[in-house]
Structure 1
Amino acid sequence: MKLLLIIFFLICSSANAQWFQQNSGTNQRLNSVYFINQNTGFTCGYSTVLKTMNGGANWTKQSLIGNLNSVWFINEQTGFICGDSGRLYKSIDAGNSWNLIPLNTFNHLKKIKFKNNTGVIVGNKTSVYKSTNAGLNWSNVSVGIDTLDLLNLQIFSEQKFFVTGTESVIFKTFNGGISYTGNNFGMPNPLFSIDFYDENRGVISGCCGMLLRTENGGNNWSPEVYLTPGYTVHGIQYLNSSSYIIASEAGIVYRTTNNGTNWDSLATNIYVDYFGMHFVNYNYGWIVGNSGVILSTTNGGGQGFPIGISNVSSTIPENFTLKQNYPNPFNPETNIEFSLKNSGVTVLEIFDISGKLVDTPLNQILTAGSYSLNWKSGNLASGVYFYKLTNNNLTLTKKFIITK
């Protein structure tokens, strides 16, 4: 019976896999990815630039000096890469060759983005560089606070853009960088990623799974939510007006289709830290991360599984425990609480009385702590069921009753 259940689980996992690992040809950490269209794309990392002309089926490698943090193309021919020690590279031949552009700085440059002809670069010591002519010239419009580093940005126009950084800061300018106003959430969390659907709706993600959302152009931000406790979200992108997707450390990818009210887990089955993500439309997207990992999807990440789990406490428990669900019996939903003494891949499975696996509401890496998971029985018939929790090769099982 155990063998049959394992085979059944593996078949289901394979059938639901909607992310495909591509052969990057490198084991270097990859920090950023950008696709011009469904076929042509680039990724960069430590002394490494990779290019594909067929959606990632094949990648060709180029070597540039330095740790490279961000890549962006403004059209099929012209692209930029920025990196540590003030390095800025430019290509005018579709990424076949790259030239070093002097910026007269040794600050680490973390992110580069363009909107039409306006480009902005951010980096250490609140460095900000801006171009208004598609990267032909760059001017220094830094915030001027040497104790903070900037990590990401959002451009709305030549005059208006936001930058995010360490100490949970968000700086806004409405005059092209002549002056800035700031938000500070009073926490040490770096804010690594930002994306806006339009000038009103935006999201920011950062350290320890922190997520912020605005509906009024950044005048107010929702109270912080920790979506992936203990794991930093490095990538976030809108897919449409109500859907966005995040990529995190520990191989976590989540998607919401109702502006963050509910989330689905998109299983990639590759448990490395993800640092870059780019979708060219709702369906076609790529994620890059540690060990040269490149993942691709052609259907928006595929079928997701609802997340109904909350981190009740981050205090490390003394034991690995699984509590009796409540209410029990129940219809249509119940709560399942458990505690993890050690961090690791944690799986919760539901079996019917015959031993058939009927649902896997949880399959992800969790940090040590106490959790509560809300589970809905859906169309399952009345009867006795078993729920099994597995963490680091330890297993606990209890039973509950569905009454309809």
Structure 2
Amino acid sequence: MKKTFLVFSFMVIGIFLLGLIYSDPYGSRTVTSSDNSVNPVVQQNDEIVKFVDDMNGANDTTALRIRGWKPKRGPLSGPAGTSPNWFQGNSTVFNAFEGPATGYVAANFNGVTGTNTIDLWLISPNVNGAAGDTISFYSRSPDASTFPDSIRVYWASNGDTVPGSGSFVELGKFKVSTAGWVESRYILPTAGATGRFAINYRVAGGGPSGLNSDFIGVDLIRLLGPAAAPVVCSYTWANQVSGTTALLYSVKTVSNLVGWAAGAGAVVRRTTDGGVTWGNGNPNPGVITGDIYNIEALDANTAYVTTSPGATFIYKTTNGGTTWVQVYTIAGGFINTIKMVSATNGYAFGDVLAGNWLMLKTTDGGSTWTSLATIAGTGDGRNNCLQITGNNMWFGTGQNTVLRSTNLGVNWTVATVTGITGQITGIQFNSATVGIVGGATMSKSLDGGATWALLAASGTGTISGIEGSGNDFWYVRGTTIYRSTDLGASWTLSHTQTAAQNDISLVTDANTCMVGWTAGATGTITKMTGNPVGINDPVSQIPSAYSLMQNYPNPFNPTTNITFALPTAGNVELKIYDITGKEVASLVNTYVNAGTHSVTFDAASYASGIYIYKITAGTFVDSKKMVLIK
């Protein structure tokens, strides 16, 4: 009798504890801790975002329906359980991939009763999908969950909203990650101007009494079009008349038409016609004192300069330089550079003052400045050596180090630049990871500035300014300007000025090419202008190396363009093979001049599948894959 009572007691306690575990209808069956760190917003890698729902708002079924989603039960679903078919993310299970901690949509084992099949559909709003577009989303289950939750992905080009109907084509299925958030991507096989895709949580033997279901989260759901066709640009340089012979330390490009330059003796020059004429940007002298080592501008009217004749100052104009107003000063300081990231927010960095780097911020358009952070240091900074991209900040110093922050100045690390023994006089990051710094030599980082390696550079003297975008970098060194089209692997001479240049400033023009100015000694100013080159026309600038580029578009139906570059003329073969290695087409088999060329492949008579294109040009051989989807 006692034994029976003890067994019964343990059963009651077990059921009670199990009830505590499963009492939350929106919870997980896995008793474990998950990594609750929130990820940074995902970069788009130049893909066209045709639809996005970051799930950062309300995600109950009512809110989802308001946004056009169709949360439904599929034909295989068992009776409804204690949780809705989709619900707001639960931060006690794990945090969202990005955004607020509960900013994701979830479903769990309580979606049905007993051991029934879970068949929950999250059908998207209408989207304009093209064949080859990509469905992308992030999903996960709790860390170390032993339950095999799974997701299927569907596409209905006609915009059907009935789960399991014949209109929905299954694109794939997978077991949900139990080791953090993972991105899944599926390619649309057909176009649909009002199509819908569906994320289907389906588990046989699910429910609170089953062995196969637990908890899933879905976040940052997107439909991505292929990256825009790469624009090939041809660049020209032209010396301009600045109207001054003063030494110019800094230049700022606002647009193809608007530019500012500044230098010794409080000289400021401004153009609003692309450099055809440069006017006086400080026609009423007396307010600005000292040499101007850095200039920043938002437009043709609003600009900022800094001088340091004993104390350090920031001045601002809102009327094109007609009048300047002192907006900041501190005794003993030396501000090296100012960067505005918007019309209201900006930063100014300078030499160490009283044991700490001088780091300032403004949130009112530069009218007032306050301390950004207290970061101990020694030494000095360098003019024009601050870059801000997103949440990333880099600041070059005179002690061959780069200060780096990934959260807009809240926290900082310091990296010694291998390969440079003195001052950092130029800095440029073309992405959050790839950057180049210059001084007496040049170094490159591939990890956001954490580590550096010596990089070969052309010319002699100090590298005093670096700019870039994509795979392109430019730098000024003495009287010469160099360009790289391969992230610094090789350099070619772009232009030679009559006097040494101190700074370079480039922006992306409306035609997607770069444009801007350099400025330097004796008032010299040079403008670079970029113009797109037709895709089927040879590029006027001879490439420095052989290359075979990824076809565009890819996937494709039925035509795609294949681009290749030749540094020297010669015989070229460009052939197409199927996945078995059988040659199916010969696109080029002739003598081709040096340059960049593009060929169109028409696959109208070929079956869907993976194809390989291969180029042979002298000793250069390369091949790539492409996907034909009909």
Short-chain TM bin: 0.5 to 0.7
TM-score (norm 1): 0.65
Ranges in structure 2 where 5+ consecutive residues have no aligned partner: 1-233, 532-538, 546-566, 571-630
Give the residue type in structure 2 aligned to 1:243.
Answer: D
Give the residue type in structure 2 aligned to 1:39.
Answer: L
Query: What is the aligned partner in structure 1 of residue 26 from structure 2?
Result: none
CA spacing shift, 1:229–1:142, aligned 2, 3 Å? farther
Say if 2:472 is the partner of 1:243: yes
1:19 partner SS = strand
- Aligned positions of 1:32-181 closer than 5 A: 32-46=250-264, 47-61=266-280, 62=282, 63=285, 64-85=288-309, 86-116=312-342, 117-125=344-352, 126-140=357-371, 141=373, 143-151=375-383, 152-157=385-390, 160-174=392-406, 176-181=408-413
Specify which of 171, 193, 213 is matched with residue 445 of structure 2. 213
CA spacing shift, 1:191–1:142, aligned 2, 3 Å? farther
Q: What do the CA deviations read for 1:356-376 (whole angstroms, capped 9, x no partner)?
A: xxxxxxxxxxxxxxxxxxxx8
CA spacing shift, 1:105–1:160, aligned 2, 3 Å? farther
Give the residue type in structure 1 aligned to 2:237.
Answer: W
Query: What is the aligned partner in structure 1 of residue 42 from structure 2?
Result: none
Give the residue type in structure 1 aligned to 2:380.
Answer: L
Specify which of 481, 498, 501 is matched with residue 274 of structure 1. 501
Query: What is the aligned partner in structure 1 of residue 483 from structure 2?
Result: 255
TM-aligned CA deviation for residue 30 of structure 1? 0.6
CA contact (8 A) 1:210 1:232 kept: no
CA spacing shift, 1:82–1:209, aligned 2, 3 Å? same
Q: What do the CA deviations read for 1:198-223 (whole angstroms, capped 9, x no partner)?
A: 3223222x222323232x322333x1
**Mapped partners of 1:24, 1:229: distance in 2:** 26
- Aligned positions of 1:333-348 closer than 5 A: none
1:94 partner SS = coil
CA contact (8 A) 1:162 1:172 kept: yes
CA contact (8 A) 1:263 1:306 kept: no
**Mapped partners of 2:543, 2:235: distance in 1:** 15
TM-aligned CA deviation for residue 118 of structure 1? 3.0
CA contact (8 A) 1:264 1:306 kept: no
Say if 2:237 is the partner of 1:19: yes
TM-score (norm 2): 0.43
**Mapped partners of 1:108, 1:307: distance in 2:** 42
- Aligned positions of 1:247-326 closer than 5 A: 247-249=476-478, 251-268=479-496, 270-281=497-508, 282-299=513-530
Q: What do the CA deviations read for 1:319-366 (whole angstroms, capped 9, x no partner)?
A: xxxxxxxxxxxxxxxxxxxxxxxxxxxxxxxxxxxxxxxxxxxxxxxx
TM-aligned CA deviation for residue 142 of structure 1? 5.0
Query: What is the aligned partner in structure 1 of residue 455 from structure 2?
Result: 225
1:191 partner SS = coil
TM-aligned CA deviation for residue 266 of structure 1? 0.9
CA contact (8 A) 2:235 2:530 kept: no
CA contact (8 A) 2:379 2:398 kept: no
Query: What is the aligned partner in structure 1 of residue 31 from structure 2?
Result: none
Q: What do the CA deviations read for 1:3-41 (whole angstroms, capped 9, x no partner)?
A: xxxxxxxxxxxxx99422211121111111112221121
TM-aligned CA deviation for residue 235 of structure 1? 1.4
Give the residue type in structure 1 aligned to 2:465.
Answer: G
Give the residue type in structure 1 aligned to 2:526.
Answer: L
Give the residue type in structure 1 aligned to 2:259.
Answer: G
Give the residue type in structure 1 aligned to 2:272.
Answer: M
Aligned length in residues: 291
1:291 partner SS = helix
Give the residue type in structure 2 aligned to 1:133.
Answer: D
- Aligned positions of 1:383-394 closer than 5 A: none
TM-aligned CA deviation for residue 227 of structure 1? 0.8
Give the residue type in structure 2 aligned to 1:77.
Answer: N
